[in-house]
């Protein structure tokens, strides 16, 4: 009788299994279409390392970046098969054509030439290079996914497009077709045991590799700002009350180049919480770039409607057997957060 009473009065958070949501820039992209599929099926060392990191961290839902997209979904299917064979089953997935590698007929990067990787809607040598994917243990409401991938940059409220000498860069014609997303922006509804979750995922452009017009810096800032505009209702209906932003933002709040006001504003937004996941060494770093060192550029930011139980960055300590494996997988580390509803 006492046991029954305790079950009745315990809060929902104490009874529910936590939901682990993660983001991981796998850097699995290859130099040509079909090559990643080939490497997955033949047991490539990097692919095996990526699989091992996911199996070790075991997220229920994971947003992946740096994975090549193909029209028939064969690459993503091969990856989920490899994960299943390793003991981690994702029965639901979502991916659609990203802007990376999507050709245009214009000079979009201002180098005076056309048909280069910088003249695609997002940098890429071929259509779908280094795209996004979502893997989930729970059903994805595919018909309700909202994509902002085709949103023109100039149509984002408050957008700041690049100029040189007060002239649109690289041209007014280019800015008429230039999309905001360098890869994609998706709101992916997922029906979990804790109810509907809206996963808001993206991979922003690096705010470097440009000139005084600061095209990439401005684009990175506006790619980040999109989420707050969505929460404000400026881009249609806001997401559900329980949402999570997860992706590669490509900017550190303190170190490196870029217009940091957007990431500062996002992290300070009262509708969000920053669990500040840390590595075993106690740092917030999520990537290590040669010549630049460690930075925090990958984020999982839950809405304040969640209770955060735990969070971390899968960055094995020097003495752990898994360290070499993690470094073989990607320069980026998987970032995870364990959540229950408030």
Q: What percent of the chain has pLDDT over 70?
A: 92
Buried b (16+ CB within 10 A) or exposed e, 205-237: bbbeebeebbbbbbbbbbbbbbbbbbbeeebee
Average pLDDT, whole number, for the chain? 93
pLDDT for the residue numbered 319:
47
All structural domains of the chain, each given as residue ranges with its CATH number in brackets, are 10-341 (3.60.10.10)
> d(Cα 54, Cα 153) in Å, to the nearest integer?
34
Residue 64 corresponds to which tokens in the numbers above? Answer: 């992946």
Task: Please say if the pLDDT value at position 10 is more than 50.
Answer: no
Lowest model confidence (mean pLDDT) among 55-59, 90-94, 128-132, 325-329: 325-329
pLDDT for the residue numbered 1:
37
Residue 222: HSE in the Cβ half-sphere, 13 Å Cα cutoff: 24
Cβ atoms of residues 152 and 226 within 8 Å = no
Residue 304 corresponds to which tokens in the numbers above? Answer: 């304040």
Q: What percent of the chain has pLDDT over 90?
A: 89
pLDDT for the residue numbered 2:
38
Task: Please say if the pLDDT value at position 334 is more than 80.
Answer: yes
> d(Cα 329, Cα 15) in Å, to the nearest integer?
35
> d(Cα 264, Cα 254) in Å, to the nearest integer?
9
Task: Please say if the pLDDT value at position 5 is more than 70.
Answer: no
pLDDT, tens digit (0-9, with 9 covering 90-100), for 239-263:
999 999 999 999 999 999 999 999 9
Taking each helix axis as running N to C, give the angle between helix 74-85 and helix 45-57, from 0 to 180 degrees, rounded to the nearest 10: 60
Model confidence at 315, pLDDT cuts 50, 70, 90, reads confident
Task: Please say if the pLDDT value at position 320 is more than 60.
Answer: no
Task: Please say if the pLDDT value at position 309 is more than 80.
Answer: yes
Model confidence at 12, pLDDT cuts 50, 70, 90, reads very low
Q: Are strands 298-302 and 195-203 parallel, antiparallel or unpaired?
A: unpaired
pLDDT, tens digit (0-9, with 9 covering 90-100), for 214-236:
999 999 999 999 999 999 999 99
């Amino acid at each position: 009788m006492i046991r029954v009473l305790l079950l009745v009065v315990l809060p929902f958070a104490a009874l529910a299994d936590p939901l682990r949501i993660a983001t991981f820039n796998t850097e699995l992209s290859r130099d040509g279409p079909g090559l990643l599929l080939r490497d997955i099926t033949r047991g490539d060392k990097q692919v095996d390392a990526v699989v091992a990191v996911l199996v070790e961290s075991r997220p229920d839902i994971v947003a992946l970046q740096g994975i090549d997209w193909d029209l028939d979904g064969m690459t993503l299917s091969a990856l989920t098969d490899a994960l299943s064979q390793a003991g981690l089953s994702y029965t639901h997935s979502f991916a659609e054509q990203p802007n990376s590698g999507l050709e245009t007929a214009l000079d979009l990067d201002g180098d005076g030439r056309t048909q280069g990787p910088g003249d695609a809607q997002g940098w890429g040598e071929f259509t779908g290079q280094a795209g996004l994917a979502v893997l989930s243990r729970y059903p994805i409401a595919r018909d309700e996914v909202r994509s902002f991938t085709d949103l023109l940059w100039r149509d984002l409220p408050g957008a700041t497009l690049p100029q040189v000498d007060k002239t649109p860069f690289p041209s007014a014609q280019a800015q008429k077709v230039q999309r905001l997303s360098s890869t994609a922006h998706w709101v992916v509804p997922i029906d979990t045991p804790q109810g509907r979750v809206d996963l808001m995922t993206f991979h922003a452009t690096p705010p470097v590799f440009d000139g005084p017009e600061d095209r990439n810096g401005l684009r990175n800032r506006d790619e980040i700002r999109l989420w707050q505009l969505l929460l404000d209702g400026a881009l249609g209906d806001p997401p559900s009350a329980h949402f999570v932003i997860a992706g590669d933002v490509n900017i550190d709040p303190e170190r490196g180049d870029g217009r940091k006001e957007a990431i500062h504003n996002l992290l300070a937004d009262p509708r969000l919480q920053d669990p500040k996941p840390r590595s075993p060494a106690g740092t917030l770093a999520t990537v290590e770039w040669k010549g630049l060192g460690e930075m925090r550029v990958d984020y999982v930011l839950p809405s304040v409607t969640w209770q955060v139980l735990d969070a971390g960055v899968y960055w094995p300590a020097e003495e752990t057997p898994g360290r070499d494996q993690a470094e073989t997988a990607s320069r980026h580390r998987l970032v995870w957060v364990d959540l229950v509803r408030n």
